[in-house]
Structure 1
Amino acid sequence: MRRAYGHPSGGEHDTHDPSVTRTEAYTDAVFAIAATLLVLDLTTSSLGDVHSDGELWAALGALWPNLMSFGVSFVLLSGMWMIHLRQFRDIRTVDSTLLWLNNARLLFVVLIPFTTALTSEYNDYYAGRVLLPVDFFLVALFGHLSWRWAAARGGHLMTADAYAARAAGAAGGLAAVSCAAIAVAASPWIGSFAFFAFLLNAPLAALLQRGSRPGRDAGTTAG
């Protein structure tokens, strides 16, 4: 039997129990640490010996793959954190399954600085181009699975308002997973430019949400 950490049912009051706050704070901290560690790939030692302004600008220009990887990872990591923020705004309580799904997401969050460094240094190799998109795909996937689990069984871990609007949350998560999958598929050929697939996230989420409305209005269970 799975244990729910907090109020077993929402009743008429969808208050957030303390376990949700602690889980959210822990997750925020992991995201913040991962974002901070990204900058460690940018060090002045990478510039080599510099003896003039011209050499310094040339050395900085040579760092553009590192800067691009840093920028892409920071923006996408921020986007994944925003998804987490919206999810936990709508979570009423947590159970062991949700905690482990969230921990799985965080496992791949903390790997992002490492896979970003691989992309910067080994972009000429297949693994160097693919591992960062795969990492983000797994972060998005476990984030979506967390939402699906919270919405399952009649929204057993969600607030009543969030369950009523669950189609929007499910569409947003599925769109992120789909964009990440496109990035993985394209990365062997175009490297970090494959992350431009995430520009499709908003229109794809809107399309998926529009497609889910008939089922939602009919009262069917969605994630």
Structure 2
Amino acid sequence: MTDRTTQVEHGGLALERLVFFSDAVFAIAITLLVLEIEVPHLARDGGLEQFGEAMAVLFPKFFAFGLSFLVIGRFWISHHQLFGHVVAYSPRLMWPNVFYLMAIAFMPFSTALLGTNLTQFGPAMFYNLTLLATASVGWVLVRRIRELSLADAPLAREANGAFSVILGALTSVALTFVSPQFSQMGMVTIPLWIRVLNRKLSA
């Protein structure tokens, strides 16, 4: 076995371990979201009305859970698609990925804070800034892969996709000043930003 073959095999193993570790962090973070929803204790003779009231009290936490589940799921899909193009490994890829995973692992806390204080400015802004930080590190990760020429494609559209999440998060931050409880809807603008950026790419 030549040194070149050994280097390629070790690089492939390191890349595989990086992806497996990343998937594990995503899985743990997305699972932790539901642990913040406490099961209500109902009286035996409480009836359907008591059940409905208990569920209504939990609605903010259900909303925060559903929102963050979709957000983390979208981040994972982007990460999965990105690394589907990565065919080489570099140690310089490690730290951007670690910081990205750190932001993902922090999401359950910001989600719990939002779910407990859905209509308040501070928790909503904190959550949206968490989204912005995560999106920004994700964009840096794409840039690092492009700079190191580790992919089998230019990743221009992937870079646009990552940057569009930043723009969506910035939209949510701006909307916080208007309506904290609906500010996360700014993330819905991401497909629009993707279309605009890809149109400029094709021009």
Coarse TM-score class (shorter-chain normalised): 0.7 to 0.9
Counterpart residue number, 1:213: 202
Residues 138, 43 of structure 1: CA spacing in aligned structure 2 closer, same or farther, 3 A cutoff?
same
TM-score (normalised: structure 2): 0.87
Instruction: Tell me the distance in 1 between the aligned counterparts of 2:146 and 2:202.
Output: 16
Preserved contact between residue 119 and residue 181 of structure 2 (Cα < 8 Å): no
The one-letter code of the counterpart of 2:197 is: L
Residues 185, 94 of structure 1: CA spacing in aligned structure 2 closer, same or farther, 3 A cutoff?
farther
TM-score (normalised: structure 1): 0.80
The one-letter code of the counterpart of 1:40 is: L
Instruction: Tell me the distance in 1 between the aligned counterparts of 2:119 and 2:183.
Output: 15
- What is the root-mean-square deviation of aligned Cα atoms in Å? 1.8
Hey, which bits of structure 1, 4+ residues long, moved more than 6 A? none
Unaligned runs of 5+ in 1: 1-5, 8-15, 215-223
1:26-37 mapped onto 2 (5 Å cutoff) = 26-37=21-32
Residues 188, 110 of structure 1: CA spacing in aligned structure 2 closer, same or farther, 3 A cutoff?
farther
Counterpart residue number, 2:3: none
Match for residue 165 of structure 2 among 158, 176, 199: 176
Preserved contact between residue 132 and residue 166 of structure 2 (Cα < 8 Å): yes
Instruction: Tell me the distance in 2 between the aligned counterparts of 1:97 and 1:40.
Output: 35
Instruction: Tell me the distance in 2 between the aligned counterparts of 1:71 and 1:18.
Output: 35
Counterpart residue number, 1:158: 151
1:196 aligns with 2:189: no
Instruction: Tell me the distance in 1 between the aligned counterparts of 2:105 and 2:181.
Output: 19
Residues 213, 25 of structure 1: CA spacing in aligned structure 2 closer, same or farther, 3 A cutoff?
same
Counterpart residue number, 1:81: 76
Counterpart residue number, 1:11: none
* Sequence identity (%): 24
The one-letter code of the counterpart of 1:115 is: S
Residues 96, 192 of structure 1: CA spacing in aligned structure 2 closer, same or farther, 3 A cutoff?
farther
Preserved contact between residue 120 and residue 181 of structure 2 (Cα < 8 Å): no
1:119-130 mapped onto 2 (5 Å cutoff) = 119-130=114-125
* C-alpha deviation, 1:126, in angstroms: 2.7
Counterpart residue number, 1:217: none
* C-alpha deviation, 1:122, in angstroms: 2.4
Match for residue 95 of structure 2 among 85, 92, 100: 100
Counterpart residue number, 2:176: 187
Preserved contact between residue 19 and residue 93 of structure 1 (Cα < 8 Å): no
* C-alpha deviation, 1:211, in angstroms: 0.6
Preserved contact between residue 147 and residue 169 of structure 1 (Cα < 8 Å): yes
The one-letter code of the counterpart of 1:75 is: L
